[in-house]
Structure 1
Amino acid sequence: MPKEDVMIEKTVVVSMMGEAEERPVAVLVQVASQYESRVHLVTGDKKINAKSIMGMMSMNFANGSEITIVADGSDEKEAVDAIEAYLGKDNQ
């Protein structure tokens, strides 16, 4: 049975960075860029392409904030899992 083309999304609590620091954001873009799927992060009324360094720099990442990861494509589950693992790790 063919797989239906549905995007997946998962809300995670950030526990690895304070303000949008350059290095963690750059690494997050690198993680997202490893996947073919379209990947966005959603917080409040912002939906940002996770592969765009400029877009990601405009997000306010703070420990304890909730961010929804939305991915759509052939490797969407792997992309969501990898970003969830990165955002959730203690990277201080």
Structure 2
Amino acid sequence: MSRRPGRPGNRRLDDAIRDQIVALVRTHYHDFGPTLAAEYLAERHDLRISREKLRKLMMTPVFGRIVKPVVLARISLAIAGIAVAS
């Protein structure tokens, strides 16, 4: 149970910085993955953000798209028709 109900987390990005990152990624790095975009933001714009935080930010509706994580169903070997040695 949280001891800080209703308050923002300690590691939350400031809204101004988040908006700046969103604008830069939308205009310059829209076709980049989160790792490369985070590297370019650090090198060219001096904005340090982890690739994981950027990935989560890129999956939000702020970017105009919602990416659903792909869940692959496991197919048993018997269903796939592969002989299993017992």
User: Given the two structures, how large is their TM-score scaled by the length of structure 2?
Assistant: 0.24
**Bigger fraction of residues in strand:** 1
User: Given the two structures, how large is their TM-score scaled by the length of structure 1?
Assistant: 0.23
Name which structure has the greater RCO, CA cutoff 8 Å, separation 6+. Answer: 1
Q: Which has the larger radius of gyration?
A: 2
